[in-house]
Structures are given as C-alpha cells and as structure tokens.
Amino acid sequence: MDKFIVKGGIKLIGRTEVSGAKNVALKALVAACLTNEKVTIENVPLISDLTTMIDIINELGAEAGINDHKVIVRAKDFKKTKISLEEAAQVRTSAMFMVPLLVREGNAIIPNPGGCRIGARPIDRTIEGLRAMGAKISYKSSDGYFYMQTIDGLNGADYTFNKTTHTGTETLILAGALAKGKTILRNVAMEPEIDELIELLIKMGAKIKKTKKATIEIEGVSKLRGTTFTVGPDRNEAVTLAIAGIISKGDIFIEGIEKLPLDSFISKMKEIGAGVDVKKDGIRFYYKGQISASSIETSPYPGFMTDWQAPWAVLMTQAEGESIIHERVYESRFGYIEQLQKMGAEIKLFNPHVKNPDGFYNFNIEDDDPKNYHAARIKGKTPLHNGVVIISDLRAGATLVLAALAAVGESVILEVHHLDRGYEKLEERLNSLGAKIIRENEN
C-alpha cells in the first residue's frame, strides 16, 4: 500500500482540470450491461473503483476493457449471475448489477454492497422498489447475499421512495427502462449525475422523462441498443481542488467546470469571503484574505452535498470564528475528525436538538446508534501542524490531503488506496499547481 508525504504551507497557483465524474462512470458501466450491443464510455476517470467494476463485468462473463480514458463494454452473454463477495465489498455500486442480471437472466445473487464505511447505507428502498416491480427477493444473513429472481421479467410500477436515495433512484430507472409497461418513480433523488445516466439510457433507446418535481416516468422498451457516451466533469473533485486553492492561500483556475451545478458550494464560498470568478471556460478560486466561519447542513441536491462536508470542515479550521456542520444524509460521517484533531484541529462533535428526526434526517432512523454524532463545532482560526494520519474513506482521504497542505511541516498520510478509489492521480495534479507531495510504498 502507498502513502503520501506532504510538505505544507505552499501556495497552489495555476490552471488544472478535473476527471470524468466517478458517480456517472460507474453507473454507466452498469447501464452498458442492459444491452448485448457495444457501448463505449469516454472520459472515464482512471480510479480503482472503475477497475473493480470492469473486473466484475468480466467475471460475470461479459466483456469490458479500458484503453486510456475509454471503456468498451460488450455484454453479449452472462455466464454467471452471482457477484463475488470480495469484489462487491470494494465498491457499493456493484449492487446495481442486480438489474442487468434480473432483466436479462431472470435471477441475480448480490452481496450486501460495500464502498466507504460511512454509515449503514441500506438498499432497502431499492429492494422494496424491485419487489413492487415483481421481483422475488430474499436475504440470507448467514452468507450476506440477496437472492433475486423474476418469472417473466419486471413489470412497470408506481413506486414512491419513503426517503430520497441517489443510487436507489438510478437502480430503479435502469429497471424501468426494460420493464413491461409504465414505471412512475416518485420522491426521486435530483442529483445531476442522475440526469447524465438518463441521457445515456435515452441514447440507448430508453423512454424516460421527468414529468414534475421529484417524479420520473419510464415507458419500458423491449430492447436497448449500443451507443457512445461521454462522462462529464466530476463536481466532487472540483470542490476538492477549489478548497485546496483557498486553504493554501493560493490562486487556481479549474478548466471546464463552469456549467457544473455547484451553486450551493459557490454561494458558501462567497459567503465566507473566498474569491470566486466564473468564466466562460472554467472557474477561478483564489484567496482574497481571511475567510469567515459558516454554518451548513448537508442535504440531497440542490443542497450542500454530503461529500463536501469533510473537505469543508478542514477549510473551516482556518476560518475566523466558530463553524457548525450538521450532517443530515448519513448517520455516521465524522470518522475523519479524530485524524484532524491529531493535526491540531479543535473540533467537538455533538447532537443538535431536532424536533422530528425521521423527517429531518435522510438516513433510516432505526439504523442510527446512540453513539453517533450528527454535527461538528469547529473552532477557527486554528493552526494545523504536521502529523501521521490514516485515511478511513474516500472523502476523508481528500480532507487529510487538504489538511496537510495547510499544515506547518511535513505530514505522512497512510492508506492512500482509499483516495485512489475516487481520485485519479490527485497528487500529480496538486503538484502541477506547486504542491510537494511524494507517493511512496508504506513498506
């Protein structure tokens, strides 16, 4: 396993760009398996999660290969309908393969999904939706697998999510594309990555439209065709780089992100006094002077994204005053705080009083633990110092890199493989802006 050695206190200056969106590329691979024709997906990020998804496709007996930033999928046949626990445990999106297997083979055996350990992240809302469409599903706690089958394919259904779910919405859109009759999905997630998945499916011949707020209607078709699709830029990566520019007191320009839906993030950046200039070919983020404290609540789109709260937390350690972050999407997403505290951050976790927790939080209240904290109080401005820290999940990894950039001295960041799941050569892009980050083998 690799580690980073990061020299702090260097201003980042220059131009850079972001990779294709991870949360689009991975779902596009699943969509490509709905047809037996060739699907080409361009501008994919070269990350380990993508490699794992390609390995799963090949393990199932279909064909997928990558050349530079382009993946070609030919899912002519599936020789297996069971996904191995080892590979599925690495990436949560693997559970979405249940749909191609169900609609094309009539059965699927899927492990409980993996990915970042940032909460229970249950797929119960997805399972309920597939049952409404006629799938027979059982779960064996003895082996951790869902056993699914259909007698004669999936049927259209009118299904309302009890709480919004990004992956659940996408999974049922895939299911509805080849189901018999009309599917109406209500209280769906509204993330822009979902729009990209819909765009791909329409290019493949699906009939999908948004009819009103948080409602999607799908007329099932009998077959989907091959196509070529280009993945758009990653807004999570854009936010990470933007914060790197501000926290290092630098001045960076990120090319090609001017059309990304970053309104809630940009609004907060301007509120704290950071420099933001939206141009016709990208966005400039620059340090104008001392930034101020803020209060945020994470929420599904168009709100402040949960993936942004950890990088935002480290930025707030450098703000003047006390900041509050209230996490509403996942029940346990402050695991990185202990590592920031090692570097001198003054952060206290707490639970704000909430009148109607079930209505306020997007996670299942029954999955919560009394030991979980849902908010952080961050004291700024607090000097950060060097340290040896350990990455626990993808976004925490980016957060610790940001902290190391702002810290005095040389920091060591262990278990960089978590970061590699979602960022393509992040250290090389930061180094191109002036950072000094060395990747070494931990051994």
Q: Would you list the DSSP string of 324-341?
A: EEE--S-S---TTHHHHH
Residue 181: what residue type?
G
Query: Is the Cβ–Cβ distance between 410 and 14 less than 8 Å?
Result: no
Of residues 58, 153, 140, 36, the one with CA closest to residue 99: 153
- Domain 2-19+233-441, CATH homologous superfamily name and number: Enolpyruvate transferase domain (3.65.10.10)
| Share of residues in the chain with pLDDT > 70 (%) | 98
pLDDT at 175: 98
Fold of 22-230: UDP-n-acetylglucosamine1-carboxyvinyl-transferase; Chain (3.65.10)
Between the alpha carbon of residue 294 and those of residues 291, 315, 326, 398, 402, the distances in Å are 9, 10, 11, 20, 18
pLDDT at 122: 65
Each residue's pLDDT tens digit, 156-182: 999 999 999 999 999 999 999 999 999
Decide if pLDDT at 101 tops 90: yes
pLDDT, mean of residues 37-49: 97
By CB atoms closer than 10 A (0-12, 13-18, 19+), residue 377 is middle
Active site residues: 116
Residue 71: what residue type?
V
Decide if pLDDT at 115 tops 90: no
Distance between CA atoms of 193 and 314, rounded to whole angstroms? 26
Query: Is the Cβ–Cβ distance between 19 and 254 less than 8 Å?
Result: no
pLDDT at 119: 45
Each residue's pLDDT tens digit, 279-331: 999 999 999 999 999 999 999 999 999 999 999 999 999 999 999 999 999 99
402: helix, coil or strand? helix
pLDDT at 27: 98
pLDDT at 59: 95
pLDDT, mean of residues 206-234: 97
pLDDT, mean of residues 109-120: 60
Start-end of CATH 3.65.10.10 domains in the chain: 2-19+233-441, 22-230
Decide if pLDDT at 89 tops 60: yes
pLDDT at 117: 42
3-state helix, strand, coil in the chain (%, to 5): 35, 30, 40
Spatial strand order in the sheet of 207-212? 158-160, 182-186, 215-219, 207-212
pLDDT at 114: 47
Distance between CA atoms of 81 and 281, rounded to whole angstroms? 45
Decide if pLDDT at 120 tops 60: no
pLDDT at 30: 98
Task: Identify the band that residue 92 occupies on the pLDDT scale cut at 50, 70 and 90.
Answer: confident
CB atoms within 10 A of CB 181: 13
Decide if pLDDT at 436 tops 60: yes
Long-range contacts of 274-282 (CB under 8 A, 24+ apart): 274/246, 275/246, 275/251, 279/253, 281/255, 281/256, 282/15, 282/17, 282/253, 282/254, 282/255, 282/256, 282/257, 282/258
pLDDT at 29: 98
**Do you find a cis peptide bond into 212, omega within 30 degrees of 0?**
no
Beta-bridged to residue 110, according to DSSP, are 146
| Share of residues in the chain with pLDDT > 90 (%) | 90
pLDDT at 84: 87
pLDDT, mean of residues 22-27: 98
**List of residues 6+ apart from 68 with CB closer than 8 A:** none
Q: Rounded mean pLDDT of the chain? A: 95
pLDDT at 283: 98
pLDDT at 77: 93
Decide if pLDDT at 74 tops 50: yes
| H-type alpha helices, 60-97 | 85-88
Which tokens hold the place of 143? 């082996």
Decide if pLDDT at 144 tops 90: no
Phi, psi of 277 (to 5 degrees): -125, 115
pLDDT at 112: 79
pLDDT, mean of residues 427-431: 97
Each residue's pLDDT tens digit, 354-386: 999 999 999 999 889 999 999 999 999 999 999
CA within 13 Å, CB half, 163: 18
Write down the pTM of the prediction: 0.95
CB atoms within 10 A of CB 64: 21
Between the alpha carbon of residue 180 and those of residues 100, 194, 263, the distances in Å are 15, 22, 38
Task: Work out whether the CA dihedral 263, 336, 297, 291 comes out positive or negative.
Answer: negative
pLDDT at 150: 95
